[in-house]
Chains A and B, each alone.
Chain A
């Protein structure tokens, strides 16, 4: 019986192809919009989540905060030093590892090819703290650090840009005015929010100090690894306290440093994406409402057109409920077919959209979004199909048979 009704519904849709398509348009647009946005947002979310997972939620970065507009910082020399990091490790609870990072933009050169990149001077715990490891070759030894050896680890992007030839390990690379021996290649990380994560040269922090001078390493980035995700908030507070004390920052004035948690970044992007999703959700519900009214309108027309048919069906034994179910099935079928077309359009739109925006990750359509779209389409069909179907079901068979 349900199958029969479904067949009747498809027949009716096919009999009026153009009309059915126009009727479905509201649903198609609504569903396509939601799927397109969800697929792009989810693609973004998916990539961000996996990348943060890779970094680890226990990763804490502390940056010196320089802001010329801020009166609290005016006239102060903002520093963040290796000693600050050691003091934090000594006094703050909940931290496991510490890694000082010197950072500076530099020109790299190999043969006649040049490439501007980020030079990072790092300590011995860099791999563990940032969860980023050497893939080929080796990490800096203790001896490298002690002797401020001219050795470097490079990211994939640098190899690509400078078109370095095999064997890369052991070959020389000019960074700024100094020559380094490449001893390792770091694992590939890919892009994150349009930013390449593989464009860097790592050298020992002692080497950086040697080259750029003691003053240059007074503004470091201090990286910490919390002992567990639970202690991260405590660790953040304690880092703040220790640094404020060491930097003699008075009560009520702003910090001259900034503590950045991966978790916060994740939450913040999640919140933005959530807002986007709910705004689109609001727009979509209006589209679905309009689409539903369109379906109701066309179903009322259909019921009037098929009054005779309804009369015949009743004469040969159809009950009110049979007619009701038949027309409800038709309304739901229209909205489900519309939903299906909408999902396909939205999916395509998401893929094209994600490709069109540079640096965006590929679209990702989760199963729940498809289920949700179908569910909403079905609900719209039932909701707006009920009135016309009830009208059809309550027709008097004698009047219906006589209808011209």
Chain B
């Protein structure tokens, strides 16, 4: 079991009002799974994503990621888990605008304190993997949207994390480019990467093998599509 979540709650206080962003979520994800998290805005999928990504800690409940009990960790321990266990892909790419593709991909390895030569080699491999071996010296503003997202995927992969966490990865892309990026995710999953995909688009979620739907902070459905079967 890669991810094991039990009774996860996240409660925000806004003055007198108590907002239960997550209200008792149970979730288990196996290594190699391809999971889509769906739900309307306000359903708690962003909060869940932040908790899975170790950007935030739950109010109550337990979250075990690859053997680490994340719930009780402090700030720098969470940073370490994010660095070694999680690869983020964001809707807005979130690349450093002044850095080259290579430098962007190297970033997680910098914080892993990897020596520069090894860092460079690993980053080049990751860029090759997403098909950008010939764009390593380009800055983000010299790349197309699809290429930028590929750089972001390479950055997410470079630390060999246990999960790839993608938050609306095609939200800023046209449909053709979206398909290409989703194709990349499919490939990565096929070669063994665990992927958690947050989206509100059905046809994007269809790429995943399993879909959970959230509403008002609870899981309302958890469906697995058989791997060979047609999309249902």
Contacts and interface: CB of A to CB of B under 8 A. Distances in A.
A315 B110 CA distance: 13
Contacts of B111: 313, 316-319, 322
Q: How large is the interface on A (under 10, 10 to 19, 20 to 34, 35 or more residues)?
A: 20 to 34
Interface string A385-400: 0000000000001100
B155 A316 contact: yes
A314 B90 CA distance: 14
A11 B98 contact: yes
B84 interface: yes
Contacts of B55: 314-315, 397-398, 401
A320 interface: yes
Q: Which of B55, B79, B99 counts the most chain A CB atoms within 10 A?
A: B79
B39 interface: no
A356 interface: no
Contact of A317 (B79, B90, B95): B79
B184 interface: no
Given A15-B98, A308-B94, A319 B108 contact: no
A1 interface: yes
Interface string A367-386: 00000000000000000000
A1 B155 CA distance: 18
B80 interface: yes
A398 B56 CA distance: 8
Nearest to B76: A319
Tell which of B53, B84, B98 has the most Cβ of chain A within 10 Å: B98
A315 B88 contact: yes
B176 interface: no
Contact of A313 (B56, B98, B107, B159): B107
Q: Which range holds the interface residue count of chain B?
A: 20 to 34
B94 A312 contact: yes
A320 B112 contact: no
Contacts of B107: 312-313, 316
B98 A316 contact: no
B56 to A, nearest CB: 6
Interface string B185-201: 00000000000000000
Contacts of A401: 55, 90, 94
Contacts of B83: 316-317
B55, B155, B159: most-surrounded residue (chain A CB, <10 A): B55
Contacts of B113: 1
A237 B141 CA distance: 84
A15 B80 CA distance: 30
A4 B111 CA distance: 10
A321 B76 contact: yes
B75 interface: yes
A309 interface: yes
B143 interface: no
Contacts of A321: 76
Interface in B87-110: 88, 90, 94-96, 98-99, 107-108, 110
A398 B84 CA distance: 18
A311 interface: yes
Contacts of A309: 96
Nearest to A314: B79
B139 to A, nearest CB: 11
A308 B107 CA distance: 15
Interface in A278-331: 308-309, 311-322
B160 interface: no
B53 A315 contact: yes
B50 interface: yes
A321 B79 CA distance: 11
B120 interface: no
B10 to A, nearest CB: 11
Interface of B: 50, 53, 55-56, 75-76, 79-80, 82-84, 88, 90, 94-96, 98-99, 107-108, 110-113, 155, 159
Interface of A: 1, 4, 11-12, 15, 308-309, 311-322, 397-398, 401
- List the 4 closest A-B pairs by CB distance, nearest first: A317-B83, A317-B111, A316-B108, A319-B79
7 contacts: A15-B98, A308-B94, A312-B95, A315-B55, A315-B88, A320-B75, A398-B50
Given A11-B98, A316-B111, A317-B159, 10 more contacts: A15-B98, A312-B96, A314-B55, A315-B88, A316-B82, A316-B88, A317-B80, A319-B80, A322-B79, A322-B111
